[in-house]
Structure 1
Amino acid sequence: MIREHSLVKPYQGLGTSIPYWDFLGSTMVTNNYIRLTGDLQSQSGAIWNTVACYLRHWEMQIHFKVHGRGRDLFGDGFAFWYVKEPMMGGDVFGSKDYFTGLAIIIDTYSNHNGPHNHGHPYISAMVNNGTLHYDHDRDGTHTQLSSGCVAKFRNLEHDAYMSIKYAHDALTVMTDIENKGIFKECFSVAGVKLPVGYYLGVSAATGDLTDAHDIISLKMFDLSTPDDDVLENRENIMPSASFFEPPRDHIEDPKPSSLSTWKKILLLIFGVIVICGCVFIGGLFYTKQKEQQRKRFY
């Protein structure tokens, strides 16, 4: 394990600082976890490694917890980053759009009604050279490297882990969310070329829908071996990938209702009362009309 690229308990150094790490936004450091967002609306937070990573082959293991009060509606999600420009907030799960580098997107936003071909939470990957836009309305499927996977990690009573491995130009993402201590492959894609000297980070965001996003540990491992051949210089290359998923139709997602359950119930009751009142008044009017017709007849 490479200490300067890892984050383990106890987190804090002198004062409120964390050795080798800096944080943004709503991030809160406790003794047991680092909370990027609370279970509150419109929050975003991030934690970034302050030391550039020059490992050619590596594996990042993320110990995390995502939890909230929402049962059917929740969001938005979090992301792991290996990018050229760290410490920049934005609209992509709390970090910058049009980034340069690699993003592993963990999208929990559940309020999708379009022709989505997967469930949520959903894990996918994106490599960007600074020119691509992450489209939330399409879950980024027009720029993802390969088909991702659904991972039901919300509100688990046991620990959840994710492994992100980059070696020999192949990216492999695995999860351990079944409390078996075994990583299960989510997806693997070859032909991914990343430069060295970029920065590691994790960010998260909430919108109208919410979740608490907690990072418990980040452990970076050097996978290089003495048998590795002499490698080309990767300091100045542009991030690239040889495969992307085909795009799908753009579907606008409706905004989730901000009304609470009790407000919805009260509105329903009010609507029923109004309808009953209209029926009652209409009945009185109809009866009066009939009575007047009978009086004229006699």
Structure 2
Amino acid sequence: MKTFSALLKAGLAALSIAAVASADEATHPLRTHSLYMPFIDQDLQNRWFDFGGDAIINTNKHVRLTSDMPSQTGFLWSRLPITAPNFNIEFEFKVSGKGDGLYGDGFAVWLTKERAEMGPVFGNRDKFEGLGIFFDTYANSRQSHSFPYVMAMLGDGKTEYDNDHDGLRNRAGGCEADFRGKEIPTKARITFSRETKVLRLQLHTRAWDSWDDCFVLNNVELPRYPYLGFTSVTGEVHDHHDIISVTTNTMEKAQKASSQRNNNNTPPPQKKTSVMWYLKFLAACAVFGALVMAFKLSRNANDMKRF
């Protein structure tokens, strides 16, 4: 049985590697817009991101945009814009604090033409141009939905955020999301395609390895080269608002990539394809071997029962 278990594990491992390699064919990491511990270099700076306001960096844990204190504003902004037409951004965050009844105000993630301009909209400027997604934990007025609430606004550079009504007049999409004070890692994933003009937000708040759709927006027009930002603000109510990691990838359809290679008379990546087939072959052999071993063990056990 130990041999059977080992063979089965080998087969599953090979299949897993093959699946990951296949999934990565059209996805490329964007280091300029990704952020991980320890967040800063020897000069106490980050090559690709700016921190400011009341933001505090804990090199072993997170970038704390605002602490559980009143009247704070903090930001984290990419120094370069995103130039890729299609991309996804996955970030882990944590919202927590001592307040059991009143807490706030929340934080926001931005894909905008402007960057690092502090203001009243979750710590960012008003009348922004681009996308703002607000992780709102405090209700300024009576709403039909509960809080915390996640809401998207598409700014045209002229329209003010409807702060008195929690952005009700500006809402392009949203969902209720219990992301505050969770024991599991809370994450969000933004996916945008300039080709299809579709933007999607998924949230990880309920259970381990479980993602839920928050909203899907169609006909989305973002600035040609948007900056990525995270901001937060506290007033009389407050919380810790932490960004733990940011992973950004560019996306390219495999069919399009193949077409571009053919147009450029560039041979396809045979080496990578060969590796894929080799991994699949190993996986098939391992699974087949495991099945044969299981059959033999079962047959021997039946023979022993006869005697």
Q: Same fold (TM over 0.5)?
A: yes
Q: Does 1:137 align with 2:156?
A: no
- Once the two structures are superposed, residues 123-153 of structure 1 have per-residue CA deviations (whole angstroms, 9 ceiling, x without a partner) of 011111101111112111211113x111111
Residues 141, 164 of structure 2: 8 Å contact kept:
no
For 1:76 and 1:228, the matched residues in 2 are separated by: 43
State the TM-score, normalizing by the size of structure 2: 0.71
Q: Does 1:164 align with 2:190?
A: yes
Moved more, 74-83 or 8-17: 8-17
- Once the two structures are superposed, residues 140-194 of structure 1 have per-residue CA deviations (whole angstroms, 9 ceiling, x without a partner) of 1211113x11111111122100111112211111100123212110111111111
Identity score, percent = 34
Structure 1 counterpart of 2:33, one-letter code: H
Q: Does 1:24 align with 2:52?
A: yes
- After TM superposition, the structure 1 = structure 2 runs for residues 151-230 of structure 1, keeping only pairs within 5 Å, are 151-167=177-193, 168-228=196-256
For 2:178 and 2:216, the matched residues in 1 are separated by: 19
Match of 1:4 among 5, 8, 32: 32
Structure 2 counterpart of 1:67, one-letter code: S
Unpaired runs of 5+ in structure 1? 231-298
Structure 1 counterpart of 2:137, one-letter code: T
Residues 92, 245 of structure 2: 8 Å contact kept:
yes
Q: CA deviation at 1:113?
A: 4.9
User: Who is 1:103 aligned against?
Assistant: 132
User: Who is 1:283 aligned against?
Assistant: none
For 1:181 and 1:221, the matched residues in 2 are separated by: 19
For 2:104 and 2:133, the matched residues in 1 are separated by: 16
For 1:80 and 1:45, the matched residues in 2 are separated by: 12
- Once the two structures are superposed, residues 17-58 of structure 1 have per-residue CA deviations (whole angstroms, 9 ceiling, x without a partner) of 012000110000112100000000010100000011111111
Structure 2 counterpart of 1:190, one-letter code: N
Unpaired runs of 5+ in structure 2? 1-28, 260-307
For 1:14 and 1:83, the matched residues in 2 are separated by: 30
- Once the two structures are superposed, residues 239-290 of structure 1 have per-residue CA deviations (whole angstroms, 9 ceiling, x without a partner) of xxxxxxxxxxxxxxxxxxxxxxxxxxxxxxxxxxxxxxxxxxxxxxxxxxxx
Residues 103, 239 of structure 2: 8 Å contact kept:
yes
For 1:123 and 1:223, the matched residues in 2 are separated by: 25
For 2:252 and 2:197, the matched residues in 1 are separated by: 13
- Computed over aligned residues only, the root mean square deviation of the Cα atoms, in angstroms, reads 1.5
For 2:108 and 2:184, the matched residues in 1 are separated by: 21
Structure 2 SS opposite 1:4: helix
- Once the two structures are superposed, residues 93-128 of structure 1 have per-residue CA deviations (whole angstroms, 9 ceiling, x without a partner) of 000000111111111114x452x1111111011111
Residues 45, 203 of structure 1: 8 Å contact kept:
yes
User: Who is 1:82 aligned against?
Assistant: 111
Residues 56, 224 of structure 1: 8 Å contact kept:
no
Structure 2 counterpart of 1:87, one-letter code: A
Number of residue equivalences:
227
Structure 1 counterpart of 2:166, one-letter code: D
Q: Which runs of 4+ in 1 moved over 6 A?
A: none
For 1:43 and 1:95, the matched residues in 2 are separated by: 12
User: Who is 1:235 aligned against?
Assistant: none
For 1:153 and 1:195, the matched residues in 2 are separated by: 29
Structure 2 SS opposite 1:227: helix
Give the number of the structure whose residues are more often helix, by fraction: 2
State the TM-score, normalizing by the size of structure 1: 0.73
For 1:179 and 1:66, the matched residues in 2 are separated by: 16
